[in-house]
Amino acid sequence: MTETEEHGAREEGTPPSADLVRAVEHALAEGDAAHLRSLVADVNEPDLADVIELLSPQDRVGLIQALGPDFDFEVLAWVDEKVRDQLSEALPNDVLAKAVSDLDTDDAAYLLESLEEDDQKEILDQLPKGERAALERNLNYPEETAGRLMQADFVAVPPFWTVGQVIDFARETEDLPDTFSEIFVVDPGFHLLGSVDISRLLRSKRDTRIDQLMDTDRHIVLATADQEQVARQFERYGLMAAPVVDKDDRLVGVVTVDDVVEVIEQEADEDAKLLAGVGDERLSDSVRQIATPRLAWLFVNLGTAVLSASVIEMFGASIQQMVALAVLMPMVASMGGNAGTQTMTVSVRALATRELNSTNIGRVAMREAAVGLINGLTFAVFLSLLAVYLFGAGQLGYVIAAAIIINMLAAALAGIFIPLALNRLGFDPAVASTVFVTTVTDVVGFFSFLGLATLWLR
């Protein structure tokens, strides 16, 4: 049994064991580089990235420096974004120069993007001319665009080459990408003419011209396109890779499906967190980084809670006359809030994927209203029977039944129209929808129930 197995035997895909992390920490504290190498020798890249994330900031840098030439910088492509930024700030520039030389262009750009311009220049100056030009091109594009996401390494050939020439070129040229699935065909100005899948190339005769094999119907990505738009294109058309062109239609890179999967995961993670009002939090964040944005949204939520409380205060006399109102009114608001959150979650996701638009908004709104009415009628029966059972007041059952139907309808409509309105106003619907939808269901729930109860008490 190897030391890695002894300290962290586990199934593939599971997090590294606490024993392995503690063993790495102990080896770093003792300065035992040989033992440290033996601990991580059989740990694959994603799992070693997990180990790095679980270490303290000082130990992360210490691990990389202790491993020296034995550290595979491809691991940094798997590390959490904020941990990667911390490492790029802490590691010496000569180490970073080695890292960006080993990484694909897109991953190298992520490693450098948070650095000061002087540090970037110092690192880039240590690279070969071709690598430096490709990396500078990536960094010149805005973050979260195809230009930043793309890999600058690809294989491009002229249309008049034969299959045999392309195969010989791929065999004999040393600075080609380690892996590629298609050959791009370009004119002298590097404008994209088409592409040829490797499988088709290998099945063709050596004397066949490339322009006879190339596929001209390719899904092309503009370098300035938003990465979410690129991800939707991959998802819609089942793409494995797509060529990236600049504003002059010149081929500048390629986006592959593994990069797009990462984008989809990031966007889904971001939307889920924004719906809860926690922002782009990571487990590696400090207390200060987490507390500040949470406090901001909690203050907004406090303001909406004051609005709901003011509605309750309006009917204070009615609540004093009948304690049952204080017992039952949270049920009305809570049911409405949950129903509104369900509709809102579906709506926000549909807006993000461009499934919800002006052509189907009416039909979707009618569907959600119908669902709200059905749910309202169903729970009206249960809550009215509960009110009669607990308090023996038949008319109170009618009141809560009417209130829950009204609030369920309001929740359904708020859950779809509030995200839509925020989107039309240019705001991210995932950020603020939860607060506004909850406010609507609380206010409508309290007002309808207590208002109807006040009329009944008269």
For the stretch 85-130, pLDDT in tens is 888 888 888 888 888 888 888 888 888 888 888 888 888 888 888 8
Q: Which CA distances in Å does 261 have to 109, 162, 240?
A: 18, 34, 11
Q: Is 271 a domain residue?
A: no
Span 280-303, pLDDT tens digits: 666 556 666 666 666 676 677 677
Per DSSP, the residues of 40-91 read HTT--HHHHHHHHHHS-HHHHHHHHHHHGGG--GGGGGGS-HHHHHHHHHHS
For residue 84, the enclosing domain spans: 3-144
pLDDT of residue 158: 95
Give the residue among 219, 208, 306 at the shortest CA–CA distance from 255.
219
Long-range residue pairs from 137-142, CB within 8 A, at least 24 positions apart, any chain = 137/252, 138/105, 138/106, 138/108, 138/109, 138/253, 139/109, 139/112, 139/113, 141/223, 141/224, 142/224
- Quote the DSSP letter at residue 144: T
Q: Is 71 a domain residue?
A: yes
Quote the tokens at residue 210: 């490339």
Q: What are the φ/ψ torsions at residue 193 (nearest 5 degrees)?
A: -105, -30
Non-local CB neighbours of 232 within 8 Å, separated by 6+ positions: 353, 354
Task: Say how many domains are in the chain.
Answer: 3
Q: Letter for the amino acid at 28?
A: L
Q: How many CB atoms lie within 10 A of CB 116?
A: 9
Per DSSP, the residues of 121-137 read HHHHTTS-HHHHHHHHH
Q: Is 270 a domain residue?
A: no
Same domain, 212 and 96: no
Q: Which three-class secondary structure state does DSSP give residue 148? A: helix
Same domain, 300 and 426: yes
Same domain, 369 and 413: yes
Same domain, 119 and 160: no
238: domain CATH number is: 3.10.580.10
Per DSSP, the residues of 174-214 read TTS-S--SEEEEE-TT-BEEEEEEHHHHHTS-TT-BGGGT-
Radius of gyration of the chain (CA): 30
- Quote the DSSP letter at residue 244: E
d(CA 292, CA 302): 15
Cβ atoms of residues 219 and 194 within 8 Å: no
Q: Is 77 a domain residue?
A: yes
pLDDT of residue 295: 67
Which residue is listed with tokens 């979410």?
228
Q: Is 247 a domain residue?
A: yes
| Beta pairing partners, 157 | 185
427: domain CATH number is: 1.10.357.20
| CA within 13 Å, CB half, 31 | 0
**What order do you get walking across the sheet with 182-186 strand by strand?**
156-157, 182-186, 192-197
Cβ atoms of residues 411 and 253 within 8 Å: no
Percent of the chain with pLDDT over 90: 18
**What order do you get walking across the sheet with 251-256 strand by strand?**
221-222, 241-245, 251-256
Same domain, 318 and 415: yes
d(CA 3, CA 15): 17
Q: What is the mean pLDDT of the chain?
A: 83
Cβ atoms of residues 137 and 130 within 8 Å: no
Q: What angle do CA 425, 430, 431 make, to 5 degrees?
A: 80
Count Cβ atoms within 10 A of the Cβ of residue 135 and give its class: 0-12 exposed, 13-18 middle, 19 or more buried: buried
Non-local CB neighbours of 208 within 8 Å, separated by 6+ positions: 162, 163
Same domain, 60 and 167: no
Which residue is listed with tokens 């994927």?
353
Q: Which residues of the chain have pLDDT under 70?
A: 1-17, 268-295, 297-298, 301, 321, 431-432, 457-458
Which of residues 112, 144, 176 is at a domain's end? 144
Which residue is listed with tokens 């500078």?
136
Non-local CB neighbours of 217 within 8 Å, separated by 6+ positions: none
Phi-psi region of 392 (alpha: psi -120 to 50; beta: other; left: phi over 0): left
Which of residues 144, 167, 185 is at a domain's end? 144
Same domain, 177 and 261: yes
34: domain CATH number is: 1.25.60.10
Quote the tokens at residue 446: 């309290």
pLDDT of residue 157: 94
Same domain, 447 and 331: yes
Which of residues 87, 114, 144 is at a domain's end? 144
Same domain, 318 and 338: yes
Q: Which three-class secondary structure state does DSSP give residue 247? A: coil
Cβ atoms of residues 36 and 71 within 8 Å: no
Q: What are the φ/ψ torsions at residue 244 (nearest 5 degrees)?
A: -110, 130
Q: Is 282 a domain residue?
A: no
Same domain, 88 and 167: no
pLDDT of residue 244: 92
| CA within 13 Å, CB half, 212 | 10
Strands 221-222 and 251-256 turn out to be: unpaired
Same domain, 192 and 131: no
pLDDT of residue 282: 62
Q: Is 402 a domain residue?
A: yes
pLDDT of residue 180: 85
Same domain, 16 and 136: yes
Q: Is 281 a domain residue?
A: no
